[in-house]
């Protein structure tokens, strides 16, 4: 199985949409009476949380990649002087 990066924003958005779907299903089945205006803030709040999680993950990946790149640059470089040739 191929490995991929974890995308927390997608997971949060998926959970919010599953919650909305469950709410709509319960309302349609008559098990839960909720006005439709309740679902709009839940939808927008789920999208906002997903965007926040995506932004935070992006910032953490940027920081991790910057550290990795700086660690590679601080390693001792190979000798580039040609004046000390070994005979």
- Tokens for 49? 């949380």
DSSP-derived letter for residue 40 is: H
Domain containing 51: what range?
A: 8-68
Indicate whether 30 belongs to any domain: yes
Domain assignment of residue 63, yes or no: yes
Nearest alpha-carbon partner for 8 in 43, 51, 44: 51
pLDDT band at residue 80 under the 50/70/90 scheme: low
Q: What is the pLDDT of residues 9-64, one digit of tens each?
A: 999 999 999 999 999 999 999 998 888 888 999 999 999 999 999 999 999 988 88
Question: Which pTM was predicted?
Answer: 0.69
DSSP code, position 36: G
What is the total count of domains within the chain? 1
Q: Is residue 2 in a domain?
A: no
DSSP 75: S
Do the domain assignments include residue 32? yes
- Other Cβ atoms closer than 10 A to 53: 17
Q: Is 4 helix (H, G, I), strand (E, B) or coil?
A: coil
């Amino acid at each position: 199985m191929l490995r991929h990066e974890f995308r927390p924003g997608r997971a949060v958005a998926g959970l919010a949409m599953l919650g909305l779907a469950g709410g709509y299903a319960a309302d349609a089945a008559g098990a839960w009476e909720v006005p439709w205006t309740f679902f709009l803030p839940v939808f927008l709040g789920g999208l906002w949380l997903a965007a926040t999680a995506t932004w935070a993950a992006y910032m953490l990946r940027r920081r991790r990649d910057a550290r990795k790149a700086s660690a590679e640059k601080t390693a001792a470089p190979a000798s580039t002087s040609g004046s000390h040739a070994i005979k």
